[in-house]
Structures are given as structure tokens and as C-alpha cells.
Structure 1
Amino acid sequence: MDPPPGLRRQGETLVRRLNKSLYGLKQASRTWFTTFSDAIQNAGYCQSKADYSLFTKVQGTSITVILIYVDDILITGNNIQEMEQLKAFLLKRFRIKDLGDLKYFLGIEFARSEKGIFMSQRKYALDILQDSGLLGARPNFFPMEQNLALTSTDGALLNDPTKYRRLVGRLIYLTVTRSDIVYHVRTLSQFMHEPRKPHWDATMRILKYIKGTPGQGLLFSANNNLDLKAFCDSDWGRCRTTRRSVTGYCVFLGNSLISWKSKKQDNVSRSSAEAEYRAMANTCLEITWLRYILQDLRVPQKTPASLFCDNQAALYIAANPVFHERTKHIGIDCHIVREKLQAGIVRPTYVPTLFQLADIFTKALGKDQFVKLRDKLGVRNLHSPT
């Protein structure tokens, strides 16, 4: 970095120290977060060990929560006076702007009513459709053909792969509130290096599905219990190239969906039971992390979280710690399911495949089953289709 004009004298080689980090430097974001976290902790707030961007302050029955993302800050709590004191402190310590009640945050729209809080990315979805020229396209009722298997070798290469990469990247951020397209976007993101014609066609189909449901989002009900429950599933050998299985899970706080994932497993499983057991292990890790977050928010979990799985063999492996010929090759890290079961953190439970909600995160489903599971996930459409 060069000093400002007129500051350097001819032949001078002195080094100057910055009193304030400059915007754009590699160290700027870290310096800002360190400055903010030190200031807010000096004001009596505790930094969460599960999420360093979360700060809480508890005084008796009063709780105030701060969540920071770079320079965007959310404040909530049950004590209006304490929140006003916090805002006055921040206004005095930093140059910030109070935007009032939460309506728009990082491209996510929030709407409040007596029923609860609705979260969606309608404007962001419409911007994607407009940039793609599909605002007038005929919508599809589900995002991908049933059991569609895409590979890295079928079809002709795209002339301009940058357009595909940019579009899929935007769809990835859309999955922050659109759990119904997580599996499909994850599948397409595997082909960023060499996208082909079938991959582009599948992307266009997802956009046409979004065209019919731009206002889809999640409703966090005001009348809800605060018990954790989770569904986990795996599709054995789904990837045609590597033969690795796909893990899918979703976690609910009461009836509100708060976490979900679709991911290809790191290892090749020798059986469907092994693939399901690995999915259970990943879900246990997510439940453990969520319990830490809820503990910081003073929402303790007094009962084990129900973990629903549709593979009885995997449930037997989790419940029976006996060494077996068919399970001795499974990684030790997967046996965290047994550890969490014995610690009373999770309670594995069987659920029929027809009612396995995580099935939507492991494969492309037909219209009827897709719509059924999507509705059970709590995905709602607050706006009328455009």
C-alpha cells in the first residue's frame, strides 16, 4: 500500500502504523470483528463457543441476543429497555445506523404476524429469473425429473461455462430458505468444472420450478414446542461415477424446520445399512451443535432428540455395541451415534420410508411424493405466483 500524496518525503524509508484498519485489506475483516467482540464483551455480553458470531447477556429472566455477520447486526431479546441501552452503546462506540424492525437481512425477507415469522427470498428469486430471461416461462411443478442421474461425461460441453457457474452459485444461496431444492442444486454444483448440456437443462428446469413458487419460504410458528427432532436418510450408491451414497437430514425445533443438508458421503458404503448409519452419525453431530446453540439461548433440551431413520439394520447397529463381522470396517467416528444414544442426547426411532421426510434430500422424487414431503417440511408460499 502506498502512502497518500505528500506524506512521503524524498529518500524517506520510514514505516507508519495504522491506527485503524483500512477497508479492503486482508486483515480488515478480522480486525473489525476483534474490535467489535472486545467492545461487546466489555459491555457484559458472553460470546458463544458454538458460534463466535453470537453474543448473549442474561440477567435473571432477561436475555438479549446479538448476531453479527461482517457489519450487519441483528439484536433481539425479551427486555426492551436492555435492547435500547445496547443500541445506545453501539451508537456511541461505532458509527452505525438503526434500521428498525427486522424486514430484510442479507437478501432474506422477513414478515411477522400473529402466527409467527415467515422467512423467504422472493426478491432474490425473482432477480435470478429476470437475469435468466425466464420471468415469462411456463412453471414446472417439481424441480427435477424423477431418478435423474447426471454424469460428468454425458452430453456436449457448454460454450460458456461461466454462465452456468454463476447461475448455480446464485441458486446455492437461494437454498438458505428453500430446502425443497437443496438436493437438486447440490447435484448440479458437482459439475462446475466442466458443465454440459444436460446439466444446463436441469438447471433451467429448477428455474422454471422457482418461477411457479418464487415466494416459497419457512414459517416459524409462534405456537410451538421447543423440542428437537430430526430425520435422516441415505440413498445407497447414488453417484454413478464414484458409487458414493448421499446423506440427507433435516432437524426441527418443534414443528419448525431449522437445519437441513444434502451431501455426498466421503466413503463408499458396502451396504445400505452402513450408508444409513453414516447418515445418522452426521445428524448426531448437527443435533449436538444445535443443543449448544439452544443452551446459549436459554432453551435447554430436557429430553433426548428423536432421530427418525427408516433402516432397522442401522438402528440395531446403533443400539447394539457388539463387535460384528459386517460392522468392523465402519469408521470409529461413525459410532458417535452409540455415544450420543448412551448419553441421552438422541433417541433413534424407526419411521416407515413413506413418511421419511429426509427422502427429499437424497434423490429426485416424482411430483406427488415431492409435493407431499415439501409440505410436511413446513415450506409455505406467502405470496401469490407471479
Structure 2
Amino acid sequence: MGIFRKKGYVRSESEPTLYVKKEGNDFIIFCLYVDDIIYTSSSTFLVDKFKSQMMNEFEMSNMGLLHYFLGLEVHQAEDGIFISQRKYTNDLLSKFGMLNCKSATTPMNINEKLQQEDKGEMENAKRFRNLVGGLIYLTHTRPDIAFPVSVISRFMQQPSTVHYGAAKRVLRYIAGTLEYGIWYSKTSNFRLCGFTDSDWASSLDDR
């Protein structure tokens, strides 16, 4: 939005709802979604300045510390921040009739190899896509299901009963791990590390 650019906020190229502004060694970041704004900063001065600017430009109110946003539940403490999606998970389980299901200890069967042509009967593709889409959104706070969800998402065009069974196993796993989420601990020596396993040879469809 033009008003933000005029005040020196830079819009992210990869996430259009995210804006950043730097002043010296300090910064402020905010995310805009419809009529909601969440923000964080390394400086209380920038926070106060931002709140003043927004209240002068728009008719809005300050709701205080963030507790809930787009299905994300946020608990802020002195030693860190915990983000989870317990309510969203319960709603997802209820939507697909898995609220009282028997839980699974792992999100995938060990050594399971899914493939496009598995001779299984075709499932309702729309319902399967709804399920996978719901699981994809859940990976925001559940990186432990990111891999199995990425695997089952390969079969959204022509899902079989085998693919749907694999997706339901992910639901059974999250049913037993409702309390899981991401804990961001307070630290002065932060280092971000990433890992990947590009084992394309294990794909039975195209290697």
C-alpha cells in the first residue's frame, strides 16, 4: 500500500503482506491481513511510532499482545514464544470424522512407497485435495508432518484409496500430538540451519 511506502516501509518480494523498515541498527516488521495487523520490532521506540502512525491514518484499536491470528495460537513468555494450532487441528479432525480416532505413533508407515499407479480404487479427488490443503496449512507449526504431507500432495489429481489412507494416517498422528507446536526460545547466539534430503531415486514413478 502507498501509505506504507511513503513512510519508508519496504514490501517483501516473496510475501506481499509483509513489510519491513530499518532505522540504524533497529528494525520493525509487520504483517497486514485484511483489517488486521501484527507487528514486532527490536525497538520500543519504533513500536510506539508505528502504533501512532497507524492510529493517525486508520480507525483502529490496539489489541495488545498477540494471542490468536489466522488459526495460529501464540503464547508469549519471558523465555520464549510458543506457536501452535490446536483449535485448527481439532476442527480439521472433526471435518474429516477423525476426532475420536485411534492415534498413530508416526505420520507415515515405515518404508512406505506411494506411487501414482497402485491399482487402488479412485477416491473423491475434491475431498482429498481439501484434506491435503488443510494439512499443508498445519505445517506452519508442525514441521514434523512436512515430509509426509509433501509426499501425499503429489497425488491430488488422481488419488487412490491407498493415498487417502496415507493422508488419514497423518490425521491419526496429529490426533495423538495435539499439544505439539514450535517453541522459539530466547537466545543471544542465534544460527538458522536448514537440511534437505534430495533422494529422488526413491520415487517409484519417475526417479
TM-score above 0.5, yes or no: yes
Q: Which residue of 2 aligns with 1:89?
A: 53
- Aligned-partner SS, 1:206: helix
Name segments (4+ residues, structure 1) moved above 6 Å.
none
Distance of aligned partners of 1:130 and 1:47 in 2 relative to their CA distance in 1, 3 Å threshold: closer
Instruction: Note closer, same or farther for the CA distance 1:81–1:236 as it changes in structure 2 (3 Å cut).
Output: closer
The alpha carbon displacement at 1:115 in A equals 2.4
The equivalent of 1:198 in structure 2 is: 162
Match for residue 175 of structure 2 among 208, 211, 225: 211
5+ residue gaps, structure 2: none
Alignment partner for residue 99 of structure 1, among 63, 86, 93?
63
CA contact (8 A) 1:149 1:240 kept: yes
In structure 1, the partner of 2:31 is: 67
- The aligned runs of 1:249-260 (5 Å cut-off) are none
Query: How far apart, in 2, do the equivalents of 1:157 and 1:50 lie?
Result: 36
Match of 1:156 in 2: 121
**Whole-Å Cα distance in 2 between the matches of residues 181 and 140 of structure 1?**
13
SS at 2:121's partner residue? Answer: coil
Gapped regions of structure 1 (runs ≥ 5): 1-35, 244-386
Q: Which residue of 2 aligns with 1:227?
A: 191
Give distance in 1, aligned partners of 2:71 and 2:171.
18
User: By how many angstroms is 1:157 displaced?
Assistant: 0.9
Distance 1:51 1:169, change over 3 A: closer
Q: Structure 2 counterpart of 1:215, which letter?
A: E
**Deviation of residue 131 (structure 1)?**
1.3
1:54 aligns with 2:22: no
Instruction: Report the AA paired with residue 180 of structure 1.
Output: D
Deviation of 1:56 after TM superposition, in Å, equals 1.1
Report the CA distance between 1:224 and its aligned residue.
Answer: 4.6
Pairwise CA distance, 1:73 = 1.9
The one of 157, 164, 170 equivalent to 2:134 is 170
Distance 1:209 1:50, change over 3 A: closer
> Shift in Å at residue 90 of structure 1?
1.1
Distance 1:197 1:62, change over 3 A: closer
Residue 126 of structure 1 contacts residue 135 of structure 1 at CA under 8 Å; is this kept in 2? yes
Deviations 1:156-206 (A, max 9, x none): 112x32211111111111111111111111111111111111111111111
Q: How many residues align?
A: 205
The residue identity in structure 1 corresponding to 2:180 is: Q
Whole-Å separation in 2 of the counterparts to 1:208 and 1:46:
42
Please state whether the residue corresponding to 2:66 is helix, strand or coil. coil
What is the aligned partner in structure 2 of residue 42 from structure 1?
6
Larger Rg: 1
Query: Identity across aligned pairs (percent)?
Result: 37
CA drift of 1:226 comes to 2.0
SS at match of 2:201: coil
Q: Which amino acid is 1:174 matched to?
A: L
Of 111-120 and 43-52, deviating more is: 43-52
Q: CA–CA distance in 2 between the matches of 1:50 and 1:199?
A: 31
Instruction: Give the TM-score normalised by structure 2.
Output: 0.88
Amino acid across the alignment from 2:78:
E
Match of 1:299 in 2: none
Alignment match, 1:131: 95
Amino acid aligned to 2:19: L
Mapped pair 1:145 → 2:109: yes
- Structure 2 match to 1:246: none
- Contact 2:107–2:169 (CA under 8 A) maintained in structure 1: yes
8 Å CA contact retained: 2:20, 2:27 = no
Deviation for aligned residue 1:110: 0.9
Which residue of structure 1 lines up, in the alignment, with residue 203 of structure 2? Answer: 239
Match of residue 341 from structure 1: none
- Normalised by the length of structure 1, the TM-score is 0.49
Q: How does 1:372-383 map to 2 (within 5 A)?
A: none
Q: Structure 1 residues 222 and 197, CA, compared in 2 at 3 Å: closer, same or farther?
A: same
Query: What SS is found at the alignment partner of 1:242?
Result: coil
CA distance in 2, matches of 1:241, 1:113: 47
**Aligned-pair CA distance for 1:51:** 5.3
Distance 1:48 1:205 in 2: 36
Within 1, Cα distance between the matches of 2:200 and 2:125? 30
